[in-house]
Amino acid sequence: MVYHVLASMPAFVCGIFTMILLFDLIQWPQRSRCIMTIFMAVATMLYLGHFVYFSRGIKILPITDTIYCTCNPLVFPLYYIYIKSLTERKLVHWQVVILVLPAIICGTMVGMAYWLTPSEDVNLFINQYLFHSPLSRGYDESGMRALVFSHNVTKTVFCLEILPIFFLGIRRINRYDKMLEQYFSSPEQKQLSWVKIMLILFVVTTVISLISFAFGRHYFIGRITKLVIPSTIYSILLFAFGYIGTKQQGIEEWKEDEEEVEMNEQSALPAGNHLCERIEKLMKEEQLYLNPQLKLKDLVMRLHSNRNYVYQAINVEMGISFADYVNRMRIAHAEKLMKEHPTMPLTEVSSRAGFASNTSFYRNFKKIRGSSPTKHKFGTSLM
């Protein structure tokens, strides 16, 4: 009983989150959530294939193994498509097709090999190749060769796609997080930090699994103590994937705000020679930087200017990102508060200076001033 619970646990977790995401998708249709729903559904089928294998469901194994060989090389491309859906306004369909095509080809090859192979050779393949049971016959039969070849191709495709997708995914997330700094004064709330962490964990656990599975999946059959570690780790990881998928927002949510700015750009005032001065004056006189949710579009609309003009003035003429520009003003305000109110807690200093979180306050203070606010506060008080 315990063994079957362990074998089915990853599939159960994926299935639960597939249903949750489907329900959310009906209420709040979103492209990224749709991709994550597909990802969790594919993971459910993948781990159902694992469950059938570990339960020795030999009669239905040709079907479940075909599904498994389709889903296994599909999970990494799907997660990369999920990252693309979070970071791109529009998905390019032919790119999506190219990403999923190898998995479809692998699944088709395995399915055709099972279908065209005589039943006795299929049983021989399952017992010898999949379960590594001793047999009096080898792989010389044509049906056996086709099955072995298609499975080896599937394994090769899966292994070859891990590192490219990892590096492409990390690069895409880093570029997106950098882009957020041009639009938001507190970009941390929208950055894809957890998506990046999950991608790293996904790759690390997969590599560990590949090393452990080098001994053969049959090594885990019927052994609770051997199965409990990979099953628990993947169940926790998949739970995190599902949970983050229900919470994470991407470019499609915040880009809707930019459409409002675009609609007003036709009536916007042209860029003057003193736009930088106008920005400085507005920010300092009205202390807009104290708003933790301040966006570039807020500044554009207050100036009755053009988004590109304001972006150009800050990023090119001032040579700084919008987030860094605003955070420098917040740090200056925080230093003023610490000087005028030496006993004020740093948490209160952080909130009154316009930072969305203490973490953001500490990180930006050290980035701009070269030391933590704690050292700065006590160093100033001793002078």
What percent of the chain has pLDDT above 90? 41
Tell me the pLDDT tens digit for each residue of 127-180.
878 877 544 455 555 567 889 899 999 999 999 999 999 999 999 999 999 888
pLDDT, the chain, mean: 84
Contact 129/151 with Cβ under 8 angstroms? yes
Tell me the pLDDT tens digit for each residue of 235-290.
888 898 888 888 877 776 666 555 444 444 444 444 445 888 899 999 988 999 99
Q: Is the pLDDT of residue 324 over 90?
A: yes
Residue 247 CB neighbour total at 10 angstroms:
7
Contacts of 11 (CB under 8 A, 6+ apart): 44, 47, 48, 50, 51
Cα separation, 230 vs 10, whole angstroms? 10
Cα separation, 264 vs 306, whole angstroms? 8
Q: Is the pLDDT of residue 360 over 80?
A: yes
* pLDDT score, position 382: 42
Tell me the pLDDT tens digit for each residue of 55-79.
888 889 999 999 999 999 999 999 9
| DSSP string covering 177-189 | HHHHTTTBSSGGG
Residue 191: strand, helix, or coil: coil
Q: What is the mean pLDDT of residues 191-198?
A: 90
* pLDDT score, position 256: 52
DSSP designation for 370: S
